[in-house]
A and B are shown apart, each in its own frame.
Chain A
């Protein structure tokens, strides 16, 4: 079955540590996205990538970094510079960067930093 996998589902870290969230897709999509969701709110865009070796900042990129070395993979690193890292993180992909294309979402990773 084609889809997006994110692992792990729950992640716990101590303050001051960097942590990397995994996102893999086998849909052969060119575009991939990372969103953050805080309780009671909608999603906010962190980073997106239109193609391998290319990525752009979204609305809340500070304290985050990404890489896109393979078409299937778009890992997100939450650095110690991110002031409020505890949140639900969702990865998505679409056929292309065109916003009219549906985005397919993974199951999400819930990150707790204490």
Chain B
């Protein structure tokens, strides 16, 4: 199974500031992709952003963007202009040759007013 590392168990950011959540993955697969999901305290998982290994441009979705560095095997999530509603757990989840998602242990983000 892939090894996923999210090194920041907890992060704090001031409202309206940008924040970067780290994710590194260990894969030898040539074809793979990576999702980021948000999990509020209510428990449901919300899709944020996706990028495939063959995509040349870093993905962006509104205030979310991926800093995808294949050589370093990292795919950091950047949230711009943080809002109080961004407070949640954030999971990165790559897939590879096993063709299923493997979830990291998550980062708890708290946005301060």
Contact = CB atoms under 8 A, between A and B. Distances in A.
Interface of A: 40-45, 48, 58-59, 88, 90, 92, 97-100, 102-108, 110
Contacts, number: 58
A46 to B, nearest CB: 11
Most buried by B among A43, A48, A97: A43
Nearest to A3: B44
Interface stretch (B67-75, B77-85, B103-111): B103-111
A102 B103 CA distance: 14
Contacts of A59: 1
Interface residues of B, number: 24
Contact of B104 (A42, A88, A92): A42
A100 B33 CA distance: 7
List 9 tightest A-B contacts by C-beta distance, closest first.
A42-B103, A99-B95, A105-B45, A108-B43, A43-B103, A107-B44, A99-B99, A102-B47, A100-B33
B35 interface: yes
